Amino acid sequence: MTTARFLEVVRQGGGRMPAFADLQGEALAALARYVFDGVEAPAGEPDLSPANQPYRFTGYRRWLDAEGYPAVGMPWGTLNAIELPSGRLAWRIPFGEFPELAARGMRDTGSENYGGPLVTAGGLLFIGASIHDRKLRAYDKRNGKLLWEGALPWSADATPITYRIDGRQYVAIFASGGKERGGPAGGAYVAFALPEND
């Protein structure tokens, strides 16, 4: 990226990055010098780097209601299947749940999720990723129907793998609880054996 393009992106935004239109003049030039040349403010001149500007980015903050749940409509997380040739949405289902809400009868709330799915040649879609309910699930990739779920010791914000030993297929995932809200954390690789074909 050229310096001119960099300055344009900072001022106007680009992709998922918002515009920083208020960053102008010497402050913007100081930012470009630092990014491209690693040069901070010369000795004796005021430090106009972004860290010393009156406003700066302090990280992502979740928008939560008074009870600590997402302050937007449900579902709070979905699993989606898209037909790649057409770009058409094939199906969408709520994905994940908060165990304490499910215990009160609020099912299919969806939840934050981190981690990707694994799709087998036989059409099974395995995914952990939901950070509150500590489950690995298997779905029918054609329609999103839940076929199986297994408990994990901690949430699994990871993508599962599959492998074979002596003709038996297994699905494994790493569970750590790393993104759970105040929950316990640990670390375990958990493997499940798929049913043997008759």
Residues 126, 108: Cα–Cα separation, whole Å: 18
Q: Is the pLDDT of residue 184 over 90?
A: no
pLDDT at 23: 82
Instruction: Tell me the pLDDT of the chain averaged across its residues.
Output: 87
Q: Which two tokens stand for residue 124?
A: 């099974």
pLDDT at 198: 43
Lowest mean pLDDT among 28-37, 56-65, 92-101, 181-190: 56-65
How much of the chain exceeds pLDDT 70, in percent? 87
Average pLDDT over residues 88-114: 94
In DSSP notation, 110-149 reads ---B-S--EE-TTSEEEE--BTTT-EEEEEETTT--EEEE
pLDDT at 51: 53
Q: Is the pLDDT of residue 181 over 60?
A: yes
Q: Which of 163, 164, 135, 130 is nearest to 149 (CA)?
A: 135
pLDDT at 37: 80
pLDDT at 183: 66
| Contact (CB, 8 A) for 8 and 1 | no
Residues 43, 20: Cα–Cα separation, whole Å: 27
Q: Could you tell me which residue, 46 or 69, shows the higher pLDDT?
A: 69
pTM: 0.69
Quick: pLDDT tens for 119-146. 999 999 999 999 889 999 999 999 999 9
The three-state (H, E, C) secondary structure of 43-94, written as one string: CCCCCCCHHHCCCCCCCCCCCECCCCCECCCCCCCEEEEECCCCCCEEEEEE
Q: Which of 187, 181, 198, 142 is nearest to 62 (CA)?
A: 181
Average pLDDT over residues 70-86: 94
Residues 32, 41: Cα–Cα separation, whole Å: 11
Q: Which two tokens stand for residue 114?
A: 């981190």
Domain ranges across the chain: 3-52, 78-193
In words, the CATH class of domain 78-193 is mainly beta
Quick: pLDDT tens for 11-58. 888 877 888 888 888 888 888 888 888 776 666 665 555 555 566 666
